[in-house]
Amino acid sequence: QPPRSCEDYWGEWKHCRGLRHAFHHYYAHGELPDCGRWREDYEACRAWERNGAAAAQVPAPPLAGAAGTEIPQPRVWKLRKSPPPDWYLPLD
């Protein structure tokens, strides 16, 4: 049985293809979102509902750091006790 209902996958696909989401994703990441995975998951879910085929089961998303890939480190600013000594100088 898929981990979510098929309507959830359909809704996520429709959301991903929406103009507002596409604009935000392009603004944030510099490229349009890839919504094909949601459509594939939806089709696999429907195939599983029709005949319960083991090949149609929805695969789990890959884990971060799996297969030798690095886990991205979050960008965090270091907390300062005081401003830098040259804080008043122009930035250029």
Asked whether residue 29 is domain-assigned, the answer is yes
Asked whether residue 86 is domain-assigned, the answer is no
Domain extent at residue 11:
6-55
Q: Looking at residue 91, what is its pLDDT?
A: 83
Asked whether residue 20 is domain-assigned, the answer is yes
The series of mean pLDDT values per 10 residues for the chain, 92 residues long, is: 82 92 92 90 88 59 56 76 90 78
Asked whether residue 90 is domain-assigned, the answer is no
Q: Looking at residue 92, what is its pLDDT?
A: 72
CA–CA distances in Å: residue 86 to residues 77, 89, 90: 18, 6, 9
Which helix (H) or strand (E) covers residue 81, if one does? none
Supply φ then ψ for residue 66, to 5 degrees. Answer: -75, 155
Report the domain count for the chain: 1
The whole-model pTM stands at: 0.52
Q: What is the CA radius of gyration of the chain?
A: 22
Asked whether residue 38 is domain-assigned, the answer is yes
Asked whether residue 14 is domain-assigned, the answer is yes
Asked whether residue 67 is domain-assigned, the answer is no
